[in-house]
Structure 1
Amino acid sequence: TANHEIASHGWSHRSLWLCGPRRTDAEIGRAHHLLSEAAGRPLRHFRPPWGMVNAAMFGALRRHGERCVLWSIQPEGLRATMATQQADDVLRRAHPGAIVDLHDAEGVGGAPERLLAALPLMIDGLRSAGYDLVTVTELLDET
């Protein structure tokens, strides 16, 4: 799995803001165990759905050996009508250490295809601007 890694987004994509401590631990723990088994190694990172956290999340992440990682750029497929819009948004907002969060816009017509078309534009543009694309583990120097 060179140059990419698997992380968790929780079991059911439920907002942790709506979960109590037991449900929070179950959301994180169930996904951690099943995804770690499928990946053949323990997961290290968790991105909470919608960026919504609660106090219980941090203890649950510690128990499961994960770290919360958010994002700094999110070019939403819901608003973009062209791949070039998504790519331009990323390139305009890029900065050292940025984490780009990409979604297929959860069923919005044409969004997955736009994202797939935008990816090469983003990658080529970022590399042309002198950025190195790295995993979250590499970015956070957790190797």
Structure 2
Amino acid sequence: MAASGSGAIYQGSTGSKAVAVTVNVDWGGEYIPAMLEALQKSNARATFFVTGSWAENNPELMKTIAAADHSIQNHGYKHVHFNSLKAAQVQEQIKQAEDVIFAATGKKSQFFAPPYGEKNPSLVAAVNAAGYQYIMWSVDTIDWQKPAPQVIVERVMKKVHNDAIILMHPTEPTVKALPEILAGLNQQGYKMMTIEELLASPEQQP
């Protein structure tokens, strides 16, 4: 599994008890304020991978996420099947989302999480050629299926490891599970950081 650079990235490179909570967002905005509150109470930072279309329709939530010092990264402009797109179309999707994110935050996105978790060599190459790192995950909550909150908690706590990338979505069960997950991670000594921090080289670590 690639740790950083080109190729798809499944985990970080700190070599320490650190994890990145990533939240893929194309819907579920009504649950984000509660997620932000839970993150704040646990002194945790997260990374929100947003579609450009969602960001355009939710400018206040974008400001709120950014103001809370979380990372906002690229999930494409539309939540489409990137496996079926040509390289130029992939890069246009990313650029459109990048422009929306920059307009909202003043920061250029650097990381891309594919809708549906799709991945193939040409798709990864197109994303890397656009200057982006291709982010997957090593711990999947599968929360989009909306299982019981305790199922989500157990999935994370049984599978978490140093440098884990933990994938979530804004759902009602996730909101209910998140405080217990964050408390458990804190109790086990994990630092919850942004994807930028998790993938930084050792000399750049905070």
TM-score, normalized by length of structure 1? 0.84
Alignment of 1:80-119 (within 5 A): 80=147, 82-104=148-170, 112-119=171-178
Instruction: Say how many residue pairs are matched.
Output: 134
C-alpha contact 1:25 1:56 (8 A) present in aligned 2: no
Q: Which runs of 5+ in 1 are unaligned?
A: 105-111
Tell me, yes or no, if the aligned pair for 1:90 and 1:122 is still in contact at 8 Å.
Answer: yes
2:104 alignment partner, SS class: helix
Which amino acid in the other structure matches residue 58 of structure 1? Answer: A
Q: Which residue of 2 aligns with 1:124?
A: 183
Q: 5 Å matches for 1:1-143?
A: 1=66, 4-54=70-120, 55-63=122-130, 65-77=131-143, 78=145, 80=147, 82-104=148-170, 112-141=171-200, 143=204
More strand by share: 2
Long gaps (5+) in structure 2: 1-65
Q: Identify the range of structure 1 (132-141 vs 18-27) with the bigger mean alpha-carbon deviation.
A: 18-27
SS in structure 1 at match of 2:101: helix
CA distance in 1, matches of 2:110, 2:83: 22
Runs of 4+ deviating beyond 4 Å: none
| Greater RCO, CA 8 A, separation 6+ | 2
**In the alignment, what sits opposite 2:61?**
none
Q: CA RMSD in A?
A: 1.9
Deviations 1:10-52 (A, max 9, x none): 0111121110122112111111111122111111111011221
What percentage of residue pairs aligned between the two structures are identical? 26
Provide the TM-score with structure 2 as the length reference: 0.60
Aligned equivalent of 1:107 = none
